[in-house]
Amino acid sequence: MEFSLSGTALKTFARSITCLARIGNELVLQSSSSQLCLHTLNSSRSAYQSITFKPDFFDVFSVSGSQVQCSVLLKAICSVLRTPVASIDHLAVQLADSDASKVQWALDCSNGMKKTYWITCNIEPDIQHLSLDRRKLPSSFVVRPRDLNRLLANFQSTLQEITIISTQQSALPLDAADQIGGKAVEFRSYIDPTKAKVKLQLLFSENDSSLHTQLWIDPAEEFVQYTHTRDPVDVTFGVRELKAFLSFCEGCEVDIHLYFDKAGEPILMAPKFGIDDGSFSNFDATLVLATMLVSQLRGGNSSEPPAATTAQQGTKGNTSEHPSDHTRIWSELSGSAVRYGNAAQDQPVPGERNQNTNEHTTIQRIGAMNISMDKNAGGVPVHGKDFHPAETDDTRRPEGSSKYADHSLSVLVKAHKLTLSCYNCSIETNGHAPSQHHPSNWIDAEEDDDDEGDDSELCVQSTPPYS
């Protein structure tokens, strides 16, 4: 395999390497006569990125035989590209064949220096290929990188995971006083409750969970395109990888197309080129991220978790449809209940307070109650108290799976007071028309009074004006 490139293509190539280096540690180069594919899978197998280049992307491109491939450390390639791209005239890469022990990277610098690197290929590389058909992911949106940057700027820069809640855009005229009105998408910070608890114990934590943010977005204003014509779904995934891909798209001056299904299903990101996807460009990129198995909307009621490892998935998981997909809790929390649930406003939930003051109440229970509420017009929870979290304990972990499989309910039981109070608020405030300023959407000091005092540190204190 031999290829060489310069100019803008070299800049794109360098940008690709930077992005890949932010995702995984090992880079696989696979070249055939029709393309060069670079891909990487992160160590926890929750993120996979692949970037492919067509032959005309390069100044020179030739492959001996049908396919040549090798695997190298991304750190080594980053060392090669330490030389500023602006001072490189051209880069040439040579690999004799798939069995070669080293791959040669030669830089001709504009100042006259010639630098030649020989990078050792990994023996017995773990070459995983993932192909996820984006057409199987029913929802998607397209956003400009600078707009997404601006939205993410509202979140703590150290935020590790984010939840995107997606609902159907309403076609009806909206009364802004009554509801959020057209803000069909919500971005919400996700703080791993186990890490939050650890912070209290250790005082020093990289996961500073002191800022929680919820952002309601009108897709018509913020997104270039938005497609979601079904029930509300949410996906929770890593911010680091999202930002890496965002930087990549920003540098390439293309919009980001994000495809998703629901919690537990992987999401896929790709650049959106011109009018026809891909036809105007000689390179393409795909980032597939695993999402958290537990939905933020219904507390893990989704059934058998599909394998969290994206490397094994080519199809959607085997989650079955549940009536819980219509849960009202979500509606109230994000405030677009008017479209979906009328019962929430009519039915007070007796005994709710008692349950919430019970330290062992799990989200699962609340979810179960709402399932019951759907089914029983009377609104009295039938299964609630008897529901055992163990029944949906998702502790089964496929080998090598990501941490997403760890979000079993037993974890949620221990340190979830924060989330509990969310649900607490939403259930109590039946009868109020949900709106962006709905109290249920704010976790404030009044609600804290209902909670156990010793757990109050986990509750987000309200900002001063509200206390």
Instruction: Please state, in angstroms and rounded to a whole number, the distance separating the CA atoms of residues 190 and 237.
Output: 9
Q: Would you say 25 or 33 has its CB closer to another protein?
A: 25
Q: x/- site string to another protein, residues 81 to 100, per CB under 8 A?
A: -xx-----------------
- The answer to whether residues 83 and 115 touch, using CB atoms and an 8 Å cutoff, is yes
Q: Would you say 123 or 172 has its CB closer to another protein?
A: 123
Taking contact as CB under 8 A, which single stretch among the options 116-124, 178-186, 322-330, 349-357 is the one that binds another protein? 116-124
Q: With binding defined as CB under 8 A, does residue 113 bind another protein?
A: yes
Residues in the chain: 467
Q: With binding defined as CB under 8 A, does residue 173 bind another protein?
A: no
Q: With binding defined as CB under 8 A, does residue 102 bind another protein?
A: yes
Q: With binding defined as CB under 8 A, does residue 320 bind another protein?
A: no
Q: With binding defined as CB under 8 A, does residue 118 bind another protein?
A: yes
**In the structure encoding, which two tokens stand for residue 30, read together?**
């696979």
What is the DSSP code string of 227-267?
E--SS-EEEEEEHHHHHHHHHHHHHHT-EEEEEE-STTS-E
- Between strands 161-166 and 185-190, the pairing is antiparallel
> Which residues, in sequence order, are bridge partners of residue 140?
227, 259
Q: With binding defined as CB under 8 A, does residue 437 bind another protein?
A: no
Taking contact as CB under 8 A, which single stretch among the options 115-123, 200-208, 345-353, 399-407 is the one that binds another protein? 115-123
Q: With binding defined as CB under 8 A, does residue 116 bind another protein?
A: yes
Q: Would you say 81 or 289 has its CB closer to another protein?
A: 81
Residue 49 CB, nearest approach to another protein (Å) = 23
Instruction: Please state, in angstroms and rounded to a whole number, the distance separating the CA atoms of residues 5 and 13.
Output: 9
DSSP 300: T
**In the structure encoding, which two tokens stand for residue 259, read together?**
């495809």
Q: Would you say 75 or 146 has its CB closer to another protein?
A: 75
DSSP 459: S
Q: With binding defined as CB under 8 A, does residue 360 bind another protein?
A: no
Greatest CA separation for the chain: 82
The residue from 111, 201, 279, 320 that contacts another protein (CB under 8 A) is: 111
How many residues interact with another protein (rule CB under 8 A)?
A: 15
Q: Which residues contact 440 (CB under 8 A, 6 or more apart)?
A: 332, 333, 335, 422, 425, 426, 428, 429, 432, 434
Q: With binding defined as CB under 8 A, does residue 117 bind another protein?
A: yes
What are the residues binding another protein (CB under 8 A)?
Answer: 76, 79, 82-83, 102, 111-120
